[in-house]
């Protein structure tokens, strides 16, 4: 028997034995009440939240059965799946150490890459549509048990027979220290798999029948894990996760006034949720990744190289700039609020540097670099999408009423962002090649243990930071490239507030060694942004931060000599508070701020298309592919038969039917075409001169070709170009569905001909 072992990374396989519905939380008005959840390729999939909830419920049953006399299995379950503060107790309940984070991370389950590559081909739209179908239903009155009036509804269902794989699932063994604890947790998870047999909507009425398994987990190893549970009267006690060990880490030296920059390139493998604000059950997301989200990764990379960055962060010797959209290989900059454009302008147009009738100020998006006389500037926005999920109540195992639906706005998967880590040259020299530890796959943002958060980071070597600033005579235009957080300068004077232009000028003047006063005649556009963060460990809100929003522009009059070296130090180090988290990034006298008009265009999509999958689907995928192909062809046969049968010209020219055919003739034909002896009956009809004359030689000849030549019916239906997932699929489908296509075509043509003649 195989020796059981815990696996830190594994693939969960879900085989759907019946049609299933995992809803997207929305419908199609006037058509479908409930739609199936789809991924970015418009293919049905199983969200990770659904998989986690179903798996946890099954493991709770196992833990309840094993936890006789309080033997600790329920506590182990919580260590694996994490705490549920809103379920286990009141929202205000707190405990030492805060809620326990989950050690298990489940990814969405999707079709195999080979099948996805075949289904997402440009000419395979009918095959993608055949992955689902619409099922009608009614709502039953729970009191009377009868169907309610005016409650007909239509639910989209995904076809059964498919196999979906959740790759990249992880069990964090660092949160389950010790081989004994990790093995017990893994055995609990495997035992829970055996109790899962249905998922999704309508699972108590036959839908969603499924089987779960772990890829490459053999039956012998699975049996050994089950026996391991049976032999243990008590579960190992999971310890609370402690702080990250810092013993043995060296504090680097921070010397010199010069700065270097480490560029970061981020590719979002999953949608990334960056909560901006919460409006009821809707979480609005930011269109960028703030520096506070990337700073822990930088600290972890330095720790892997043997350094402790806490002092460098506190002194402001290291800064992590926010990740903005990448525009043609360059990090985008928030569009300055002094730019205006026409209402309803498209992806191409013209920015105006001053307000005019018919123009409105631009408030969102990012622009690339621009120099005077260069021509067009690149302008784009971050692609985002809304993801809906619901909360399932434990007792009835149903969605928790109208208030249980939540919507997340997240940056779409596939987006490319660019960020940068700035640090003093002496610090960078002491750290060495620490930046190499940043490269790789990471998980960021909210809900990152399931459907969101996977990010691939590529790191470039450090480079010297140069700004090339040249002061103008007596004036300075400041462009906030990130939010700027300033201390309040006074309690009663609004000009001393942390979000005022005067306060920004005072702070900048202190760094530059000059006096700055707001230029009332220059371009200005200052807006405010509020940051509402959340303390994950304690489940409590952090204090709100009110900052000058990125994109704000302020013009100042300068009193004194503005030295380029002082400006360079200020631009590198930033201004204000929490600069290590990306606040306080500025630009001085950018050419874009002086332009009267600038043409803009969308960025070119330079992402190379992924190579087609070279592998072929396995046996299980081929069986499901045949089901999808057959459903797609049947749908196309029906649509083509209805269209051809309704065309009087087609019936006259292709079938040779004249206006004198009677209902008895057409009824006999509809019966004839359904029999296996259709050709013999047609020849018998043609042998009777009177009957043959009533049909006509053209009609009998057309029917004889239909009954004897298998390709004739496909020619009449226009089946050239109908897709299949394999080269041999077209021939197989034509052979399997020939008789069905023949019956549909003749039956539909006869019905329409009879209706028009009658």
Residue 115 in domain: yes
Give the tens place of pLDDT for each residue, 14-66.
Answer: 999 999 999 887 888 888 888 999 988 899 999 999 999 999 999 999 998 88
Residue 3 in domain: no
Residue 598 in domain: no
Which string of b and e fits 688-712 if b means at least 16 CB within 10 Å?
eeeeeeebeeebbebbebbbeeeeb
**pLDDT at residue 93 tops 70:** no
**What is the reported pLDDT for 536?**
66
Give the tens place of pLDDT for each residue, 574-588.
Answer: 999 999 999 999 999
Please check whether residues 159 and 18 belong to one and the same domain.
yes
Give the residue among 6, 340, 412 at the shortest CA–CA distance from 188.
Answer: 6
Residue 372 in domain: yes
**What is the reported pLDDT for 606?**
57
* Residues spanned by the domain of 417: 243-465
Residue 1 in domain: no
Please check whether residues 541 and 625 belong to one and the same domain.
no
Average pLDDT over residues 693-700: 90
Residue 608 in domain: no
Please check whether residues 628 and 741 belong to one and the same domain.
yes
User: Which helix (H) or strand (E) segment is 203 a member of?
Assistant: none
Q: How many domains does the chain have?
A: 4
Last residue of a domain, one of 230, 265, 295: 230
**What is the reported pLDDT for 611?**
42
**What is the reported pLDDT for 233?**
78
Average pLDDT over residues 742-758: 84
Average pLDDT over residues 174-199: 91
Token readout for 51 is 């998989």
Please check whether residues 214 and 249 belong to one and the same domain.
no
Q: Any residues with CB less than 8 A from the CB of 242 and at least 6 apart, and which?
A: none
Give the tens place of pLDDT for each residue, 446-480.
Answer: 888 888 999 999 999 999 988 878 777 788 999 99
Please check whether residues 15 and 109 belong to one and the same domain.
yes
Give the tens place of pLDDT for each residue, 342-382.
Answer: 887 888 889 988 888 888 888 899 999 887 767 789 999 99
Last residue of a domain, one of 405, 432, 465: 465
**What is the reported pLDDT for 44?**
95
**What is the reported pLDDT for 2?**
60
Instruction: Report the chain's mean pLDDT, rounded to a whole number.
Output: 87
Residue 543 in domain: yes
Bridge-based pairing of strands 377-380 and 597-601 is parallel
**DSSP letter string over 440-508?**
EEEE-SBTTTTTS-EEEEEEPPPEE--------SSEEEEEESS-B------SS-GGGSTTSHHHHHHHH
Residue 69 in domain: yes
Please check whether residues 258 and 157 belong to one and the same domain.
no
Phi–psi pair at 328, nearest 5 degrees: 55, 50
- The CATH number of the domain holding residue 488 is 2.60.40.4350
Please check whether residues 423 and 496 belong to one and the same domain.
no
Please check whether residues 97 and 124 belong to one and the same domain.
yes
Bridge-based pairing of strands 366-367 and 377-380 is antiparallel
Please check whether residues 363 and 249 belong to one and the same domain.
yes
Please check whether residues 422 and 496 belong to one and the same domain.
no
**pLDDT at residue 525 tops 50:** yes
**What is the reported pLDDT for 241?**
66
Query: Would you place residue 610 in the very low, low, confident or very high pLDDT band (cuts 50, 70, 90)?
Result: very low
Last residue of a domain, one of 435, 465, 495: 465
Please check whether residues 200 and 324 belong to one and the same domain.
no
Please check whether residues 288 and 408 belong to one and the same domain.
yes
DSSP-assigned letter for residue 611: P
């Amino acid at each position: 028997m195989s020796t059981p072992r815990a696996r830190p990374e594994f693939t969960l396989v879900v085989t759907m034995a019946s049609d299933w519905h995992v809803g997207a939380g929305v419908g199609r008005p006037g058509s479908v009440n409930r739609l199936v959840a789809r991924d970015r390729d418009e293919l049905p999939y199983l969200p990770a939240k659904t998989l986690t909830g179903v798996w946890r419920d099954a493991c709770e049953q196992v833990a309840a059965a094993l936890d006789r006399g309080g033997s600790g299995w329920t506590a182990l379950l919580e260590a694996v799946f994490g705490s549920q503060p809103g379920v286990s107790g009141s929202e205000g309940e707190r405990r030492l150490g805060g809620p326990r984070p989950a050690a298990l991370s489940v990814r969405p389950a999707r079709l195999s890459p080979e099948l996805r590559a075949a289904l997402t081909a440009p000419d395979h739209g009918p095959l993608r549509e055949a992955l689902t179908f619409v099922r009608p239903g009614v709502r039953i009155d729970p009191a009377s048990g009868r169907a309610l009036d005016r409650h007909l509804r239509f639910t989209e269902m995904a076809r059964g027979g498919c196999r979906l794989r959740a790759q990249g699932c992880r069990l964090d063994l660092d949160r389950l220290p010790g081989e004994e604890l990790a093995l017990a947790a893994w055995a609990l998870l495997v035992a829970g798999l055996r109790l899962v047999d249905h998922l999704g909507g309508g699972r108590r009425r036959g839908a969603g029948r499924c089987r779960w398994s772990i890829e490459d987990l053999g039956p012998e190893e699975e049996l050994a894990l089950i026996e391991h549970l049976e032999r243990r009267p008590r579960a190992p006690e999971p310890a609370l996760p402690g702080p990250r060990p810092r013993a043995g880490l060296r504090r680097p030296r921070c010397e010199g006034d010069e700065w270097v920059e480490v560029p970061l390139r981020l590719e979002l493998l999953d949608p990334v949720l960056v909560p901006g604000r919460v409006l009821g059950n809707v979480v609005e997301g930011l269109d960028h990744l703030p520096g506070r989200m990337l700073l822990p990764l930088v600290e972890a990379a330095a720790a892997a190289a043997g350094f402790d960055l806490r002092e460098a962060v506190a002194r402001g010797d290291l800064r992590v700039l926010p990740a903005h959209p990448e525009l043609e290989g360059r990090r985008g900059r928030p569009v300055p609020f002094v730019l205006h454009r026409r209402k309803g302008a498209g992806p191409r147009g013209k920015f105006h540097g001053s307000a005019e009738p018919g123009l409105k100020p631009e408030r969102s998006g990012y622009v690339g670099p621009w120099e005077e006389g260069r021509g067009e500037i690149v302008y784009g926005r971050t692609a985002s999408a809304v993801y809906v999920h619901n909360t399932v109540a434990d007792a009835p195992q149903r969605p928790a009423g109208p208030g249980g639906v939540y919507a997340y706005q997240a940056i779409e998967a596939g987006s490319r962002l660019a960020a940068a880590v700035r640090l003093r040259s002496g610090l960078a020299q002491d750290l060495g090649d620490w930046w190499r530890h940043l490269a790789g796959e990471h998980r960021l943002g909210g809900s990152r243990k399931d459907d969101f958060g996977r990010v691939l980071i590529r790191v470039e070597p450090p480079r010297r930071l140069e700004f090339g600033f040249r002061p103008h005579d007596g004036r300075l235009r400041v462009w906030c490239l990130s939010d700027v957080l300033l201390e309040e300068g006074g309690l009663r004077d609004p000009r001393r507030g942390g979000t005022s232009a005067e306060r920004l000028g005072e702070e900048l003047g202190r760094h530059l060694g000059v006096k700055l006063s707001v230029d009332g005649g220059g371009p200005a556009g200052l807006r405010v942004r509020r940051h509402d963060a959340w303390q994950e460990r304690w489940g409590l809100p952090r204090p709100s931060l009110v900052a000058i929003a990125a994109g704000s522009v302020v013009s100042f009059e300068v009193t004194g000599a503005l030295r380029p070296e002082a400006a360079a130090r200020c631009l590198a180090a930033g201004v204000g508070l929490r600069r290590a988290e990306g606040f306080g990034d500025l630009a001085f006298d950018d050419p874009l701020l002086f332009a009267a008009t600038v043409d803009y265009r969308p960025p070119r999509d330079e992402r190379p298309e992924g190579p087609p999958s070279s592998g072929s689907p396995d046996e299980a995928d081929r069986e499901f592919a045949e089901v999808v192909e057959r459903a797609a062809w049947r749908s196309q046969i029906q649509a083509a038969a209805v269209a051809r049968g309704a065309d009087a010209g087609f019936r006259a020219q292709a079938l040779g039917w004249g206006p004198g055919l009677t209902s008895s003739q057409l009824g006999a034909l509809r019966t004839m075409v359904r029999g296996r002896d259709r050709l013999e009956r047609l020849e018998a009809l043609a042998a009777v001169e009177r009957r043959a004359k009533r049909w006509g030689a053209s009609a009998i000849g057309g029917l004889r070709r239909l009954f004897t030549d298998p390709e004739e019916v496909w020619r009449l239906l226009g089946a050239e170009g109908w897709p299949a997932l394999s080269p041999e699929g077209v021939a197989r489908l034509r052979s399997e569905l020939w008789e069905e296509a023949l019956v549909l075509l003749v039956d539909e043509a006869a019905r329409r001909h009879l209706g028009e003649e009658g």
